[in-house]
């Protein structure tokens, strides 16, 4: 008995990119919505990784931040969304569509000073997390880069490839 069924399987390990993102976590010397500003000396985050959260919700860890750089204008961070987490996939889609782009930090104040104007200046802080948010409290804080796939493919083109392969298999079988 002849079996005219053709088995064909295609697997993609990644739906388009590795979830790598980067941005300015906080702008220095910029007054936020809480009448607070951060000094360039505020953070020392070398050698450690911190959680990436959705909107400061500790029950929604969506990845981690692993690389930090203190620049003249702010603290920049590079991280990776965990593409095995449903909320991370959702956040990635929102970022790619441009629907959200804000970053906001969760921290503890270690040292601060108060200006005559009432503005609090944080000179030393411990960074606990960086969240992707819709509305950052510090103007200018946000995602600056979302890594696109290296070969230009995405989930839609992968699905188109699978459909083309199925059509070819049916044509071979004469159906």
The answer to whether residue 33 is domain-embedded is: yes
The answer to whether residue 50 is domain-embedded is: yes
User: 142: domain CATH number?
Assistant: 3.20.16.10
Cα radius of gyration (the chain): 22
Quick one: tokens of 78? Answer: 């590079």
- Kindly report, residue by residue over 49-89, the tens digit of the pLDDT: 999 999 999 999 999 999 999 998 999 999 999 999 999 99
Q: How confident is the model at residue 169 (pLDDT cuts 50, 70, 90)?
A: low
According to DSSP, residue 48 is labeled -
The answer to whether residue 46 is domain-embedded is: yes
The answer to whether residue 12 is domain-embedded is: no
pTM of the model: 0.75
Residue 132 bridge partners (DSSP): 54, 103
- Kindly report, residue by residue over 7-47, the tens digit of the pLDDT: 433 333 444 567 999 999 999 999 999 999 999 999 988 77
Number of structural domains found in the chain: 1
Where are the strands (E) in 14-159, listed by range?
20-27, 36-38, 50-54, 57-70, 74-81, 102-114, 120-133, 142-146
Q: How confident is the model at residue 128 (pLDDT cuts 50, 70, 90)?
A: very high
- Which residue segment(s) compose the domain that 89 sits in? 20-150
The answer to whether residue 155 is domain-embedded is: no
The answer to whether residue 34 is domain-embedded is: yes
Rounded-to-integer distance, Cα 12 and Cα 56, Å: 32
């Amino acid at each position: 008995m002849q079996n005219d069924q053709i088995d064909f399987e295609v697997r993609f390990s990644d739906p388009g990119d590795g979830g790598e993102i980067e941005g300015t976590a906080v702008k220095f010397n910029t007054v936020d919505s809480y009448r607070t500003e951060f000094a360039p000396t505020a953070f020392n985050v070398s050698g450690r990784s911190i959680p990436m959260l959705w909107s400061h919700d500790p029950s929604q860890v969506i990845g981690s931040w692993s690389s930090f750089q203190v620049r003249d204008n702010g603290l920049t961070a590079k991280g990776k969304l965990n593409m095995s987490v449903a909320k991370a996939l959702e956040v990635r889609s929102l970022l790619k569509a441009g629907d959200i782009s804000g970053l906001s930090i969760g921290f503890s104040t270690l040292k601060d000073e108060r200006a005559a104007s009432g503005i609090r200046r944080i000179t030393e802080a411990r960074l606990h997390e960086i969240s992707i948010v819709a509305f950052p409290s510090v103007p200018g804080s946000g995602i600056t880069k979302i890594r696109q796939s290296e070969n230009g493919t995405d989930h839609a083109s992968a699905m188109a490839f699978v459909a083309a392969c199925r059509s070819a298999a049916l044509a071979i079988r004469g159906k």
